[in-house]
Structure 1
Amino acid sequence: MLIVIPAHNEQDTIQDVICDLNEYGFYDILVVDDASTDDTAKLAKAKGVKVMSLPYNLGAWKATQAGVRYANEQGYNGLITFDADKQHQASQLALLLKHQEASAANLVIGSCPSRGSFSRRVAWSMFRFLSGVKVTDLTSGLRLYDRNAIQVLSRQEASLLEYQDVGVLLMLKTFNISKSEIYVEMKKRESGISRIFYSWWAVIYYMGYTTMLCLSKIAKKAHLLSN
């Protein structure tokens, strides 16, 4: 099982995150350094993990997909995406692994709805309604993908997506990738900023982009039904 950690300017937390994973027996770790301007890559390498340094900033999802493609090329049967800001806890990964074994789902999402603000929960409800994707915590980056899901998300089409939430889930749904969800504990962010909710302009862009994805999916489904 490969652990993929997308990281952009996470020098304050990256070593703690790696130590946390090591403590729970996870040593096969790939840090995807998303063109950090600090010592993220250097500090990760010092902990003995694999580091993939991107030449320029691609954003959290595309950095994650770089790790997914690496897993696909190396023949991994599974990977877990794990945030670099200390919100995700290695102690919770056993829950994902056991749930995947019991459910045989291609994708298991570690959900923590309580971490969302009121406005975020409203957005989640709207996107669930528009997309038909029944996931409580749509923006959770704590996910376990099996071999089938890895292959789908390594495709060129996945490179066109901006975020690892509704778009990725819609794409996986299109390819009949099964999903399940299990509740996990998460901590509050200790440093850095949210990649989506760091400014009103970012929120507006995210809301507009994701709404258009949902509406295009609805339009496509309506077109197919009419033919």
Structure 2
Amino acid sequence: MSKPVIDVIIPAFNEEDSIGKVLQDIPNEWVREVIVCNNGSTDDTAAVAAAGGATVLLQPQKGYGNACLKGMEHIARRPQQERPDIVVFLDADYSDHPEELPQVVQPIIESNYDLVIGSRALGNLEPGSMQPQQIFGNWLATTLIRLIYNYRFTDLGPFRAIKYARLLELDMRDPNFGWTVEMQVKAAKLQFKSTEVPVQYRRRIGVSKVSGTVKGSILAGHKILWTIFKLI
């Protein structure tokens, strides 16, 4: 794949302090369009993202998956010949390192992989960047995927790249916390050629809407496990 067309989808909810930094660090020479899906923010996330050069979509229906699906809907409106080769997903809170995008897409470009997960477990975690319940949840989920589907992942990290054609095959549906694990379980079931690359991960700007609260952590953990088992 020579000089692929790459689009980036970033779900964002009240990330006015971080989204500008995320956009600034994305290597523009690698990306055609950055799509920020404003997921019902009550702050200036949309304005900051637009000022940073992103295409801003409004998705008032809350949920991480709903925001990602809005970005996919935008891409699907393009004529067939203008659709991307690769879609990259990353978070808006500046916990990911957007400058690592070339490393994340490299296995697709050079070795024809279908899906690449940026693995925080294999990379460098800044102290405090992941809560203990997140680390345990990732271990449990990826262990279950290995045991049930005989497919090895080490992380459910948000920073990931996938061939657009393969993304469509997954028929993604989850509206919220189960989005990342749904993608990986469906990829395992369809025997996608998948791999992981080590990525860095730092303390996010602001407070997490999921791991930052006990309720959010419990709901996310329940949804992830439910998603793994319902897709068997």
Instruction: Tell me which interval the TM-score lies in, with the shorter structure as reference length.
Output: 0.7 to 0.9
Equivalent position of 1:183 in the other structure: 198
1:135 pairs, out of 143, 148, 153, with 153
Q: Distance in 2 between matches of 1:39 and 1:200?
A: 27
CA contact (8 A) 2:63 2:175 kept: no
Q: Distance in 2 between matches of 1:90 and 1:100?
A: 17
2:61 pairs, out of 57, 78, 81, with 57
Q: Which digits, 9 at most, give the CA deviation of each residue in 1:30-79, with x for residues without a partner? A: 1111111111111211223211111x232112201221232233222111
How much does 1:124 deviate?
Answer: 2.1
How much does 1:129 deviate?
Answer: 2.7
Report which of the two has the higher share of helix: 1
Q: Which runs of 5+ in 2 are unaligned?
A: 1-5
Q: Distance in 1 between matches of 2:90 and 2:175?
A: 21
Q: Which runs of 5+ in 1 are unaligned?
A: 221-227
Structure 1 residues 166 and 159 mapped into 2: Cα distance closer, same or farther (>3 Å)? closer
Structure 1 residues 204 and 103 mapped into 2: Cα distance closer, same or farther (>3 Å)? same
Is the partner of 1:12 in helix, strand or coil? coil
Equivalent position of 2:73 in the other structure: 69
Equivalent position of 1:99 in the other structure: 107
Q: Which digits, 9 at most, give the CA deviation of each residue in 1:1-33, with x for residues without a partner? A: 101111111111111211111566545211111
Q: Which digits, 9 at most, give the CA deviation of each residue in 1:147-200, with x for residues without a partner? A: 2222124x3x52456433222211232333331100012222122x32431221
Q: Which digits, 9 at most, give the CA deviation of each residue in 1:117-170, with x for residues without a partner? A: 4433322222223232421112x11010102222124x3x52456433222211
Amino acid at match of 1:165: T
Structure 1 residues 213 and 46 mapped into 2: Cα distance closer, same or farther (>3 Å)? closer
Equivalent position of 1:9 in the other structure: 14
CA contact (8 A) 2:130 2:203 kept: no
Q: Distance in 2 between matches of 1:41 and 1:161?
A: 20
> Aligned-pair RMSD on alpha carbons?
2.2
Q: Distance in 2 between matches of 1:125 and 1:77?
A: 31
Is the partner of 1:35 in helix, strand or coil? coil
Moved over 6 A (4+): none
Aligned pairs, how many?
213
Whose radius of gyration is greater, 1 or 2?
1
TM-score of the superposed pair, with normalisation by structure 2: 0.81
TM-score of the superposed pair, with normalisation by structure 1: 0.83
Report which of the two has the higher share of strand: 2
Equivalent position of 2:133 in the other structure: 119
CA contact (8 A) 2:174 2:182 kept: no
Q: Distance in 1 between matches of 2:155 and 2:56?
A: 28
Amino acid at match of 1:32: C
CA contact (8 A) 2:90 2:96 kept: yes
Equivalent position of 1:144 in the other structure: 161
